[in-house]
Amino acid sequence: MKVLITGSNGQVGSCLVRQLQNCTHTEILAVDRTDLDITSKSDVSKIVDEFKPNIIINAAAHTAVDKAETEIDLSYAINRDGPLYLAQAAEKIGAALLHISTDYVFAGDKEGIYSEIDAVNPQGVYGSSKLAGEKAVIDACSRVIILRTAWVFGEEGSNFVKTMLRLGLQRDELGIVADQFGGPTYAGDIAAALIDIAEAINIQGEGFDSAKYGIYHFSGLPHTSWYGFAQTIFDKAEEQRVVKKVPLLKEIKTSDYPTPAKRPANSKLDTQKITETFGIQASDWQRALNKLSNY
C-alpha cells in the first residue's frame, strides 16, 4: 500500500504518520504545507504523478473557525480547491481519496443525532468551505470516502484539552459553555479509522464494493457538553496528578461567550454506518484522556 498523507503535522496527520510507520508493506509520503501547497493544482498533480499512491489521505484543512469569517478566500482555497485538486489527481491514477470533514456542515439545531443523510446547512465560512470541499471531491473522484468528525483533540496542535490544562494552571475559576453538545474525538482514533478503511480498500482492490464509498460520521461517545468534557478532563488530570489544583468550573451559555463564528449547538454525530460497514467503533475519548501528561 502506498499512502500520500497531506497535513502531516496536524492533529490527525501526525497520528497517521506515527501509526502507518508501524504498518508492514506500507510506503508513505507525508507532506505538510511546506512540502506541498495543496492549493496549487500543478504541485498536487506533480507529486501524485511521481509518487503514484493508491491511497491519498487528506488531513490538511483551514480549521481556524473564527479567522475563517474574514479569511474567506484562504478558507475556500484550502478546504475546497485543495481537496478538488487531490481528487482530480487521484482519479487520474485510479487512487482512492480519504478526506476529513466536519460537523460544521450542519446547522446544529436538530433534536437528536445527525446521520449522514440529514440535510446540511452550514452557518459560517468554515462549514460552508468544508461542505464545498465535500461536493468537489465527490464530483471529481469515483473512489472517495469522506469522514466527518467533531471536537478533535490529540497530543499535537491546539485543542480544547490542551487549553483546559493550560488555563487550569493559570486560573482558579473557569466558565465553560454548557449548551453545546457533541462527541469529543481523539485524533489517534480518527487516524486508526482512516487506516482501517485504507487497508480494506487496498486489500480488496478491484473487489472493494463501490457502494461503500461515500460519507461517514466518526466521532466520540458518550456525547457530552463542553462543560462535561472539561469536567472529565480535570477529573482525569487530578487522578494523574497533572494539575495540583482543579479550578472551579462554572456553566455558561453560548451567549455569554460570543465568537465571530457561530458554533453548532448540536454536534452529535451518528456513527452507526461506519460501524456496520467497516466494523469501526466510535472514539473512546475518555480512554484517550488516560495519559494527559502527553498533551
* pLDDT tens by residue, 125-171: 999 999 999 999 999 999 999 999 999 999 998 999 999 999 999 99
Grid cell, residue 255, equals 451567549
Average pLDDT over the chain, rounded to an integer: 96
Of residues 85, 104, 126, 216, which has the active-site annotation?
126
Enter the CATH code of domain 2-158+184-222+269-285.
3.40.50.720
Please return the burial class of 138, using the count of CB atoms within 10 Å of its CB with bins 0-12, 13-18 and 19+.
Answer: middle
Residue 199 confidence (pLDDT): 95
Average pLDDT, stretch 90-103?
Answer: 98
Q: 186 an active-site residue?
A: no
pTM: 0.97
* Residue 145: how many other CB atoms lie within 10 Å: 26
In Å, what is the CA distance from 45 to each residue of 41, 90, 105, 218?
6, 9, 28, 29
Sequence spans of domains, the chain? 2-158+184-222+269-285
Q: Is the pLDDT of residue 283 over 90?
A: yes
Q: Grade residue 292 by pLDDT with cuts at 50, 70 and 90.
A: very high
